[in-house]
Amino acid sequence: MMQQQQQRLYLLVLVAMHFAVVVGDDDFSRNDFPASFVFGSGSSAYQVEGAAFEDGRTPSIWDTFSHAGAYNGANGDIACDAYHKYKEDVQLMVDTGLEAYRFSISWSRLIPNGRGPVNPKGLQYYNSLINELVSHGIQPHVTLCHDDVPQVLEDEYGGWLSEKIINDFIAYADICFKEFGDRVLHWTTVNEANVFALGGYDLGFTPPGRCSPHVGIGPCSRGNSSTEPYIVAHNMLLTHSSVFRLYKRKYKSTQHGFVGLNIFAYRFIPHTNATADEGATLRAYAFYLGWFISPLIFGDYPVTMKDRVGSRMPTFTRQESEQVKGAIDFIGLNHYATLHVKDRPSAFERDYRDFSTDAAIQLVFEQGGVTPKGEYPWTQPGLRAVLEYFKKTYGNLPIYIHENGQTTPRNATLNDTGRVEYLHAYIRNLLDAMRNGSNVRGYFSWSFLDGLELLDGYKSAYGLYYVDLDDKNLTRYPKLSQQWYSNFLKGKSRKSNVNLEIGKEVSHSSESEFSS
The residue extents of the domains of the chain are 31-266+375-491
* 3-state SS string for 90-106: HHHHHHHCCCEEEEECC
Cis ω before 44 (30° cut-off from 0): no
| Share of residues in the chain with pLDDT > 90 (%) | 84
Distance CA(401)–CA(441), nearest Å, equals: 8
Q: What is the pLDDT of residues 345-368, one digit of tens each?
A: 988 778 789 999 999 999 999 877
CA 266 to chain centre: 13
Confidence of residue 373 (pLDDT cuts 50, 70, 90): confident
Over residues 409-437, mean pLDDT:
95
> How many degrees, rounded to 5, is the angle at CA 40 between CA 39 and CA 45?
155
Q: What is the pLDDT of residues 428-480, one digit of tens each?
A: 999 999 999 999 999 999 999 999 999 999 999 999 999 999 999 999 999 99
Over residues 401-405, mean pLDDT:
98
What is the model's pLDDT at position 26? 54
3-state class (DSSP) for residue 366: coil
Over residues 263-280, mean pLDDT:
97
Q: Which among 251, 264, 206, 241 is positioned nearest to 324, based on CA atoms?
A: 241
DSSP 462: -
Residue 302 CB contacts under 8 Å (≥ 6 apart), including other chains: 286, 287, 290, 291, 294
First to last CA, the chain: 33
Confidence of residue 54 (pLDDT cuts 50, 70, 90): very high
Which CATH number is 31-266+375-491's, of 3.55.50.30, 3.20.20.80, 2.40.50.140, 3.30.70.3340?
Answer: 3.20.20.80
Q: Treating both helix axes as pointing N-terminal to C-terminal, what angle do 417-435 and 480-489 enclose, rounded to 10 degrees? A: 30
| Share of residues in the chain with pLDDT > 70 (%) | 90
Residue 221 CB contacts under 8 Å (≥ 6 apart), including other chains: none
Confidence of residue 265 (pLDDT cuts 50, 70, 90): very high
Distance CA(10)–CA(509), nearest Å, equals: 12
Annotation says 511 is catalytic: no
Q: What is the pLDDT of residues 212-239, one digit of tens each?
A: 988 878 779 999 999 999 999 999 999 9
Annotation says 366 is catalytic: no
Decide: residue 482, CB within 10 A, 0-12 exposed, 13-18 middle, 19+ buried: buried
Question: Is 90 exceeded by the pLDDT of residue 323?
Answer: yes
> How many degrees, rounded to 5, is the angle at CA 181 between CA 78 and CA 254?
175
Catalytic residue of the set 228, 403, 421, 453: 403
Determine contact, residues 109/150, Cβ cutoff 8 Å. Answer: no
Catalytic residue of the set 132, 192, 375, 453: 192
Question: Is 70 exceeded by the pLDDT of residue 9?
Answer: no
Decide: residue 76, CB within 10 A, 0-12 exposed, 13-18 middle, 19+ buried: buried
Q: What is the pLDDT of residues 145-189, one digit of tens each?
A: 999 999 999 999 999 999 999 999 999 999 999 999 999 999 999
